Amino acid sequence: MARKKSARPTVAVVGGIELGKRFCVPGVSLESNCPKCGALAETDLANDYLSYPVVGEPYEHTFWCEYDEEEWSVRVVVRGTVEAWDGK
């Protein structure tokens, strides 16, 4: 059965966003000060990565201070959507 042609094909976005084992984000860094000595620790997500983050859910990232070997965790969230473009 022939369908009536619409002016523009539509799109359905199906499924969630699965991020892999090594999710890099070039151009984004995480920075946090050591709770013990105040030194700045940085994770450059161009080279380092988040492991299996889930979009929209809290992700626990661990920093390590090279000066006093302190370890601490922070929570970040990866956000991202793919939607049909409505032309506006």
Residue count at the site for Zn ion (CB under 5 A)? Answer: 8
Scanning the structure block, which residue is given the tokens 């409505």? 86
Min separation Cβ 37 and Zn ion, Å: 3
Scanning the structure block, which residue is given the tokens 């992700």? 59
Q: Binders of Zn ion among 19-58, rule CB under 5 A?
A: 34, 36-37, 39
Report if residue 65 touches Zn ion, rule: CB under 5 A: yes
Residue 63: closest CA among 87, 86, 29: 29
Distance, C-alpha 52 to centroid of its chain: 9
Q: Which residue, 11 or 37, is less far from Zn ion as judged by CB?
A: 37
Min separation Cβ 71 and Zn ion, Å: 10
